[in-house]
A and B are shown apart, each in its own frame.
Chain A
């Protein structure tokens, strides 16, 4: 069974060899004349300011988490909405009811976040 994967390993091997070889050869054969301008950080032509390790407000994480949850809800609703007519002919009203129950459960979560002040920035 494993021999089916042989081409994958060959491709993997070629990719690694190619990547390492190009980087190494440019280091070995390329001309190197470093100047201060060349060695400094390039940031869209601007002078770089401060460090990259800035502290981010925890509220961003909260918003990001809520975004993911609602994003996932949409992922479930889209295919259901697209196929609704076909499903309705086949299974009747229970198609509508089951999605409705799902949305009610979701809205309780939404209300909970709202009531607890999850959407307030300050």
Chain B
């Protein structure tokens, strides 16, 4: 039975879980819920995020009959999810007004998706991963189509639901085969038996199916087809959450399931598969993004190529790889949310101002926004001294250490291609004439969120070593 002291070990999960119930009650009984709910969500996310940050050094343990892990990198992930979601809520306050009808479920669903992500990152059992995945995905399907009167939102939601359900099928089948070969769903036991299991064909097929399912969720190349349409159709702030929180949660699940391959790279029998996925995603994302006219679609293809860079860390299969992935995810979350946040602030009513040409001459109208968008674009392109550079650097170093130099070279090549479409926006903003028909909306809370993410991107870029050290300590 449940030990009472164990319950307080999972305080971040409890805060968000209680927050969902509180928000539901408020949404039912309060007429002011539209004004109150976003601030309650932001408050809860910040409390949970800060608590996770300060409890990183607490003793790491596994609670609830080997179901959930506490402390260490689990809390690093909790921090990433919660602060990311807090930024999304801050951005949404003004965005939702111009997007159309307000639905109270918006913030409740953001909270429940974060709860799902936290379960995925904290899981020590395959079934907990599955439960977290479903909580997150079902909230995402609804969030994508929240504006049910808009045709593109319906398309996004349906596409995401059908392909997401398909992907979940792969994950469950993979879990079934892993259970069949290992006779357990406990990740502790699977990790302990990994070297014996990695010669078992049934186990390898199971893990590959599991990886295929999660490749949908991280938007890696052969399973990426939903990404551009879903990002384009769903609310811009929510697209930011899909590309950061959703991706980080899926990577956290892959890492904790395959944690054994990072301690002994001889066990990494999946390296060829992962290397192919990484190569194709990087090149495909970078090359197709060049042809995009819509900035949300461009960011969607950029998200595919970033999934590729992150997969390099998995293919490398060493301690540097996993630390690099976690650092990269933190950096990517803040820089991509910042970019999506500025897109959400520039976007007008009824999906206007979303073409790349509408950014022409932005620097003379909104110098601060233009400067920050330029910062995020430099960071996404991987130009020092911003966070994105060090993320890529650590992942490439990990690849070189496991004799995958060719993969690192492909990565550098692909980021050189990506510089073109990232910097095109900077060039448009600073060196082109102002487009006159642009009507801009003011958003103070959105501005605060974007400033916070730009500060975090700069901080991660200035002190990458100490943060990486923190992550490595918990391996």
A: residues with CB less than 8 A from B are: 90-91, 94-95, 98, 105, 108-109, 111-112, 115-116
Q: Which residues B244-268 have CB closer than 8 A to chain A?
A: none
Q: Which residues of B contact A115 (CB under 8 A)?
A: 28-29
Q: Which residues of B contact A105 (CB under 8 A)?
A: 21
> Per-residue CB proximity of B6-26 to A under 8 Å, as 1/0?
000000000000000100110
User: Cβ of A94 and Cβ of B28 under 8 Å apart?
Assistant: no
A112's partner among B1, B2, B4, B27 (CB-CB below 8 A) is B27
A108's partner among B1, B2, B4, B21 (CB-CB below 8 A) is B21
A-B contact sample (11 more), CB < 8 A, given A94-B1, A94-B4, A115-B29: A90-B1, A91-B1, A94-B2, A95-B1, A108-B21, A109-B24, A111-B28, A112-B24, A112-B28, A115-B28, A116-B28
| Total contacting residues, chain B, CB less than 8 A | 9
Which chain B residue lies CB-closest to A104? B21
CA distance A95 to B2 in the complex (A): 9
A114 to chain B, nearest CB (A): 9
Q: Which residues of A contact B1 (CB under 8 A)?
A: 90-91, 94-95
Q: Which residues of B contact A91 (CB under 8 A)?
A: 1
CA distance A94 to B2 in the complex (A): 8
A115 to chain B, nearest CB (A): 4
CA distance A111 to B25 in the complex (A): 9
CA distance A121 to B59 in the complex (A): 54
CA distance A116 to B2 in the complex (A): 35
CA distance A111 to B27 in the complex (A): 11
Query: What are 8 inter-chain pairs, A to B, with CB distance below 8 A?
Result: A94-B2, A94-B4, A108-B21, A108-B24, A111-B25, A112-B24, A112-B27, A115-B29
CA distance A80 to B28 in the complex (A): 30
B124 to chain A, nearest CB (A): 21
Q: Which residues of B contact A94 (CB under 8 A)?
A: 1-2, 4
Which chain B residue lies CB-closest to A98? B2
A89 to chain B, nearest CB (A): 12
Cβ-closest 5 pairs across A and B? A91-B1, A115-B28, A112-B24, A108-B21, A108-B24
Q: Which residues of A contact B21 (CB under 8 A)?
A: 105, 108
Which chain B residue lies CB-closest to A97? B2
A118 to chain B, nearest CB (A): 12
A116 to chain B, nearest CB (A): 8
Which chain A residue lies CB-closest to B108? A112
A53 to chain B, nearest CB (A): 21
CA distance A98 to B4 in the complex (A): 11
Residue picked from A90, A98, A115, most chain B C-beta under 10 Å? A115
Q: Which residues B116-167 have CB closer than 8 A to chain A?
A: none
Q: Which residues of B contact A95 (CB under 8 A)?
A: 1
Q: Which residues of A contact B25 (CB under 8 A)?
A: 108, 111
Q: Which residues of B contact A109 (CB under 8 A)?
A: 24
CA distance A112 to B28 in the complex (A): 6
Q: Which residues of B contact A98 (CB under 8 A)?
A: 2
CA distance A7 to B357 in the complex (A): 67
A58 to chain B, nearest CB (A): 12
A12 to chain B, nearest CB (A): 19
CA distance A5 to B28 in the complex (A): 55
> Per-residue CB proximity of B27-70 to A under 8 Å, as 1/0?
11100000000000000000000000000000000000000000
CA distance A105 to B25 in the complex (A): 11
CA distance A115 to B28 in the complex (A): 6
Which chain B residue lies CB-closest to A1? B202
A36 to chain B, nearest CB (A): 43
A16 to chain B, nearest CB (A): 24
Q: Which residues of A contact B28 (CB under 8 A)?
A: 111-112, 115-116
A10 to chain B, nearest CB (A): 22
